[in-house]
Structure 1
Amino acid sequence: MSIFDTAVWHDGRVRMMDQRLLPDQEVYLEYESAAAVADGIRDMVVRGAPAIGCAAAYGFAVEAKRLAADGNPSDWRAALEPGIKILRECRPTAVNLMWAIDRMWGVVDAAQPGDDLPAKLLAEAHAIRDEDIDSCKTMGRNGAAQLPQFPDRPTVVMTHCNAGALATGGYGTALGVIRAAVEAGQNIQVIANETRPYLQGARLTAWELIEDNVDTTLVTDNMAGHLMSRGEVDAVVVGTDRVAANGDVANKIGTYTLAVLAKRHNIPFFVAGPLSTIDRNCPDGAHIPIEERDAEEVTHFRGQRTAALKVKVRNPAFDVTPAELVTALVTEKGVVTAPTREKIAKLFES
């Protein structure tokens, strides 16, 4: 099963696969400052909450390397703050971005005189990526055990957006569940929603799964209800960009619609995400900031206009699914069925 170099350290730079060009081209871009990494994240070179967190950690490390090249600053925090502020603000919804930056600041604050701070920050960035891959694999096994199985036919899993190796340090959250199920010998077929307007499902999820020889069918987003009504979907598995303390889930726009449809048709709706995606400081979904992206993502595709001139556009990148619609939250620490504030809090007790 594939683990892609979505955001890694390469020859002293941050190297990211340009996901805007997939599946047609596999191109890597390199960055040498926090501000440049922020541009890459904002422009969707890399996307997916855990992957953004990994990229931010490496962006922090490369900023320290850049500053050290001009002579170690007398006050590292003051020197780092301008670039890291840009990095922190590049995308507002995915909490892994802020989580990773806060963790990197912890290394700065714990540093002692004489420490090689850039080396310590790079080691922490590597640890964040390695831990993400490990947590995705554990999460995948936890989620695979929740999928229904049938003696005489495949289990059909619908997914939305891309929550795979491309959206994480590697392996994937929602696609990690699917990968783990396949690795365990389960007979799995996947329905990938195309995920308008950025087509992450069509371009990225379908590509990842086909690369791994997983039986995959692509559908447009508005076909989901039809397929569910015909009994052609056994489970829905999605990732998440932020989970509020009460279990409300922010994920790619269209996720809420799928959750409502799944509830209507008695189909289990699973959300896979690491503990780093749970924002215990956010009381509920109403407090999750929802990013609005450029209108051209809706009116154009790869530079070609597809919409009427002068039409008004809304382009929220995410929506919020209430906890009551979530069958289970799948994490590396276990599976929380019918998530509540109290159940989620217990994940952090051990």
Structure 2
Amino acid sequence: MISRDEILGILERYDPEKITVGVLGSHSALDIADGAKEEGLPVLVVAQRGRHKTYAEYFRLRKTRDGITKGFIDEVIVLEKFARIIDVQDELVKRNVIFVPNRSFVVYTGIDRVENDFKVPLFGSRNLLRSEERSEEKSYYWLLEKAGLPYPEPVKPEEIDEVGLVIVKLPHAKKRLERGFFTAASYKEFREKAEKLIKLGVITEEDLARARIERYIIGPVFNFDFFYSPIDGEIELLGIDWRFETSLDGHVRLPAAQQLTLPEWQFEPEYTVTGHASSTLRESLLEKVFDMAEKYVKATQEYYSPGIIGPFTLQTAVDKDLNFYIYDVAPRTGGGTNIHMAMGHPYGNALWRKPMSTGRRVALEIKRAIELDELERVVT
């Protein structure tokens, strides 16, 4: 792990009046870029050829023929592969970039290289990014247990008949950024589905052996988009979102009788996230949610010093008795924050009395840190 002292040494060479917000061109990059622009900070996106036009053309900053300003991305560096971002890190440092990590950055660059080779100051908690990997010994499940937070209990394959419906979590065999999840209500169903999915090339035997199997929580899902400010020492709930997943959402729109007639290659829905929608929560439950966030932040400070910095998302399911279970944690910008760019999050807007998206809140914290001469508190 690159030491924080080394990163702060690099930060000392930055011109605080020329700080640029950098982000990998994927996942939640538009939200980060829009938020930075809203706060008057320049934006640099590192994109991959073949996926660069969103940033280099459609949302780039330019003037129309009659002089109207349009777009919000100042500059784009186009690479042949996202992983080549390591090769341009000196250029990023030269441009005073504070880089905002998203899930795509970690996956495409590789967690080892993010931790050991990427010497650009990150806004957020570099040492927490690995906790998102379920196969790690100290994954977010380990941290949730230390924090005393509720999560779906793990289940062994032979225990499924006793527990009931479970979800099996493992990566997709071909689309490694995506999921090869499936559900089962008995050990027999688990084996039958696993064998079919392996045959279809959706999952592999190796991944199945390392899969996380846990009790399936029957109920609605809510992703809580939080922000922890080291400057204020406070937690903010900015917004709530939920996902559209293919082909799951297509399956649930079919009558049960129709689902039963699907051919083998369509029998099991996939869980590929394709979009998000905004949500709110009944107010009597909000205190429970803040309590979970407080415990999570405290645990990160105890076990992953200096603890969480900036945005994080607790992904939950709520059962019939209104109990929350955290089934995933994003120790960085969540994947659903693009729905609030330009408009802000409902709760963040109410708190700050102006449109406050996650991207804008990140930029605001960077600006405040510059003004208070405390940038070292928000980067790792």
TM normalised by structure 2 equals 0.29
Q: Which has the higher contact order (CA 8 A, sep 6+)?
A: 2
Structure with more of its chain in strand, by fraction: 2
TM normalised by structure 1 equals 0.31
